[in-house]
Amino acid sequence: MDKAEIGVRPAYLVDQLEDGDLKSRLSACLGQPMAASDWSIGHRGAPLQFPEHSRESYTAAARQGAGIIECDVAFTQDRELVCRHAQCDLHTTTDILTRPDLSAKCSVPFSPAGEGREAEAKCCTSDITLAEFKTLNAKMDGFDPAASTPEEYQGGIANWRTTLYAPGTVMSHAESIALVKSFGRKFTPELKAPEVPMPFEGEYSQDDYGRALIKAYLDAGVPPGDVYPQSFNLDDVRFWIREFPEFGAQAVYLDGRDETQEGFDPMKPESFEPSMQALADEGVKIIAPPLWMLVTERDGEIVPSPYAEAAKAAGLDMIAWSLERSGPLAEGGGWYYQSINDVVSSDGDMLNLLDVLANDIGVRGVFSDWPATTTFFANCLKGESTDSAAN
């Protein structure tokens, strides 16, 4: 097992915990050697402090012990695959707007704020070629809606993040595979929803896109057991199960039905369409909802939700996303903690949540924007069982 460097943040979080059994058990782990764990999943690398989907972000995630590292996959104008959280986020995650030769190709070129309107831009990977994409620099995600120039638009970064480790190096999907493979870690590529009409340019279909993602791992000689392809589109998961069954066996259905399905309520299993059992019956083995769907509050404590109980009853494995994404939790946790906001009062409550996810629900892994936290928890309270949790 590879050693992990978790730094000082896990100790800070332990310090924030209220005195009790969990704090005592975790305190006893501080200063102990840590190993990489598949339970710790690098969400876009380590974007709490590094530009997401950059070489530097992936390297930081590996050093922090993420056993699995994510590349969100989008396609370029010449149908090459690159690592970006969304097909059309280049204006907030790279320096494209300060590059006149490339910004001129953006779907929506920059327009300044003024007369009651916010600054606007929209730049997509499909606007440029892979060669052009590779000339960009990655930046911390953010934008200034009051900007009057492209340079000002580069701001707007949350004050709990940092620009100390920017700019970063953008990555093609193939380059990310080679890098993560060199670390001896596993892969979780997400097929991002296209923001252009499909088939792209009348020829490149959704199945072509999903096929290209898997082919990249076949070409790189990566064993299917090391790859967890993901999508919010259930049809993508069905496609992988059907056409690439060895990869489809570990395909992850990212559950965003709270935003796409009218009436869906994670606290009411009767609202699920399809049901957890129906998903399992058609070959889905892993479901990945946001953190808040898996938990609820009872008598001032964090407990498993009806969603989690239904998934477990159907035999589905669960992965949760994404820890360390909400910023400071002193006033509750915001969207990611919406089902338990009333019992969240400090950053230490992240560890209370992990305890429930790990030991009451038994999730297969947890995405984190700072994988040192999940690596620390896996080493302390999951033991050796975590290292094989995603195998």
pLDDT, tens digit, 9 for 90 and up, residues 108-165: 999 999 999 999 999 999 999 999 999 999 999 999 999 999 999 999 999 999 999 9
Residues 6+ apart with CB under 8 A from 241: 248, 249, 251, 282, 283, 284
Compute the distance between CA of residue 215 and CA of residue 239 in angstroms, rounded to an integer. 14
- How sure is the predictor about 332, in pLDDT bands with cuts at 50, 70 and 90? confident
How big is the chain, counted in residues?
Answer: 391
**Do 76 and 133 form a contact (C-beta atoms < 8 A)?**
yes
DSSP 345: -
Q: Token digits for 94?
A: 């790279």
Percentage of the chain beyond pLDDT 70 is 97
Distance CA 169, CA 167 (A): 7
CA dihedral sign of residues 184, 382, 29, 12: positive
Q: What is the pLDDT of residues 338-361, one digit of tens each?
A: 999 999 999 999 999 999 999 999
The C-alpha angle 374, 70, 329, rounded to 5 degrees, equals 40
User: What are the tokens at 12?
Assistant: 């800070």
The Cα–Cα gap between 176 and 73 comes to 10
User: Do 71 and 172 touch, CB atoms closer than 8 A?
Assistant: no
**Contact status, residue 103 vs residue 156, Cβ threshold 8 Å:** no
Q: Is the pLDDT of residue 371 over 90?
A: yes
More confident site: 391 or 329: 329
CA distance 365 to 368: 10
Torsion (CA) 210, 56, 219, 216 in degrees, nearest 10 = 10
Alpha-carbon distance 356 to 365, whole Å? Answer: 12
Residue of higher predicted confidence among 386 and 98: 98
Domain coordinates of the chain in residue numbers? 3-88+170-387
How high is the pLDDT of residue 387?
Answer: 44
CA 101 vs CA 89, 96, 107, 132, 158: distances in Å: 18, 9, 14, 10, 28
Count the neighbouring beta carbons within 10 Å of the beta carbon of residue 382: 18
The Cα–Cα gap between 283 and 109 comes to: 44
What is the CATH code for 3-88+170-387?
Answer: 3.20.20.190
pLDDT score of 331: 82
